[in-house]
């Protein structure tokens, strides 16, 4: 199983937002994330990068 962590792109570094993400859905200017237990977390913004080797999802919040 491949679970990822979500980070937001900041001016100087990437800021951790959540972990154990199993599903990501981009929806109308939002990024909706579901973790291993099905808990939903929603961010305003867009996906910048998905690195499956490092299990990192990078978003730009608006």
- pLDDT of residue 1 exceeding 80: no
pLDDT of 24: 97
Distance CA 35, CA 24 (A): 9
pLDDT of 11: 87
Q: Which domains does the chain have, with CATH numbers?
A: 4-61 (2.30.30)
- The full length of the chain comes to 62
- pLDDT of residue 2 exceeding 90: no
pLDDT of 48: 96
Distance CA 22, CA 14 (A): 20
Q: Which residues contact 8 (CB under 8 A, 6 or more apart)?
A: 14, 15, 17, 43, 45, 58, 59, 60, 61
11-56 pLDDT, tens digit each: 899 999 999 999 999 999 999 999 999 999 999 999 999 999 999 9
Look up residue 21 and give its two tokens: 């993400």
């Amino acid at each position: 199983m491949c679970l990822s962590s979500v980070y937001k792109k900041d001016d100087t570094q990437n800021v951790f937002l959540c972990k154990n993400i199993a599903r990501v859905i981009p929806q109308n200017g939002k990024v909706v994330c579901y973790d291993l237990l099905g808990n939903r977390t929603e961010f305003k913004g867009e996906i910048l990068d998905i690195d499956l080797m490092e299990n990192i999802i990078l978003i730009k919040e608006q």
